[in-house]
Amino acid sequence: MDIILYVIIFLIGIFFGSFYTLAVYRIPKGEDITHTHSYCPNCKHKLGILDLIPVFSYIFLGGKCRYCKQKIRPRYFILEILSGIFFVTVFYIMGINYENLNLNAILNFGFFVLYFTFIVLFAGIDSEYRKINKPVLMYGVIISLIYIVYLCIIDFASIYRYGIYLFLFIILLLIDTIYIKKKAIDSYPIDILISIIIMLVFTSKYIVINSIITTLIAIAIYLLIEKLKNIKSKRKKTKKEANYEISIGLYLSITNILFYVLLFAMCEF
Ligand SMILES: [Zn+2]
């Protein structure tokens, strides 16, 4: 019976994967993520429902556009498959199976999916634009608040800890909206701090500390390599390179998810 459960989770995973690729592409452009029609980038033909089924459309159409036979890049197909595999992996390491499948288990997995959706959109947009998308950040804050309420209902012991997170959310959001708008400063550092609080709500503080340390090491290595490259070649730097604009959110997200899975897997086995 478990195999059916895994197949369902895999299918949910590839649908979310499909949504992620679409959302990371559309949200920064301010495009609608639910209503605007998708179209073939080559022949501009509107895609029907049969062309848009994640993974399966790609397989049945042989990786080509139904209308102009142009090859479709396998990038999205691969990302959707990876998303499916990742969902199954998390479901597995959470130890959910057909026997213990109850409301609590479903809610736990559901909250993970909500959190993972935040992480993917947050990291995806940061890596493309080196910018934290405000609506995505707000989504992260809102699901954090819902999760805190849920946790307080099932476990009152940690209400103090979540009180601190709530307090930090309010302070940072106030700085973000009032102070930074007034002075027109780059809100990137504050947005990163807000995202760290979201990570603290959904994963443990050990995971977050580990991902911050790993991120700092990764950035230090990156800057060192850049320095060495600059010494070797005297070429002009682009504006982005000159300011050392690093997508910190991307590093934090990757390490956060890696440590999350790793810790879960270690507790399980
Ligand atoms: Zn086409």
Tell me what pLDDT residue 141 has. Answer: 95
pLDDT reading at 236 higher than 70: no
Q: What is the mean pLDDT of residues 146-172?
A: 86
Q: How far is the CA of 238 from the centre of ligand 1 (A)?
A: 35
Q: Confidence class of residue 159 from pLDDT cuts 50, 70 and 90?
A: confident
Q: How far is the CA of 71 from the centre of ligand 1 (A)?
A: 8
Q: How far is the CA of 117 from the centre of ligand 1 (A)?
A: 29
Q: How far is the CA of 28 from the centre of ligand 1 (A)?
A: 24
Distance CA 33, CA 24 (A): 10
Distance CA 126, CA 137 (A): 11
Tell me what pLDDT residue 186 has. Answer: 79
Quick check: 249 and 120 in contact, CB under 8 A? Answer: no
Q: Among 50-59, 219-228, 246-255, where is mean pLDDT lowest?
A: 50-59
Ordered by start, the domain boundaries in the chain are 1-101
Q: Confidence class of residue 126 from pLDDT cuts 50, 70 and 90?
A: very high
Nearest to 187 by CA among 257, 126, 255: 126
pLDDT reading at 157 higher than 70: no
Q: Which residue type, as a one-letter code, is found at position 210? A: N
Q: What is the mean pLDDT of residues 127-151?
A: 92
Q: Which of 36-50, 114-128, 222-236 has the highest mean pLDDT?
A: 114-128
Quick check: 223 and 244 in contact, CB under 8 A? Answer: yes
Nearest to 116 by CA among 19, 8, 2, 5: 19
pLDDT reading at 239 higher than 70: no
Q: Confidence class of residue 42 from pLDDT cuts 50, 70 and 90?
A: confident
Q: How far is the CA of 210 from the centre of ligand 1 (A)?
A: 45
Q: How far is the CA of 256 from the centre of ligand 1 (A)?
A: 38
Residues, CB-to-ion distance under 5 Å, ligand 1: 40, 42-43, 65, 67-68, 70
Tell me what pLDDT residue 237 has. Answer: 60
Q: How far is the CA of 26 from the centre of ligand 1 (A)?
A: 20
Q: How far is the CA of 64 from the centre of ligand 1 (A)?
A: 8
pLDDT reading at 243 higher than 80: no
Q: How far is the CA of 11 from the centre of ligand 1 (A)?
A: 26
Tell me what pLDDT residue 268 has. Answer: 62
Q: What is the mean pLDDT of residues 26-48?
A: 81
Q: What is the mean pLDDT of residues 102-125?
A: 94
Q: What is the mean pLDDT of residues 185-195?
A: 88
Structure tokens at 6: 């895994």
pLDDT reading at 254 higher than 90: yes
Which of the two residues, 264 and 150, has the higher pLDDT score? 150
Q: What is the mean pLDDT of residues 65-83?
A: 88
Percent of the chain's residues with pLDDT above 90: 40
Tell me what pLDDT residue 235 has. Answer: 61
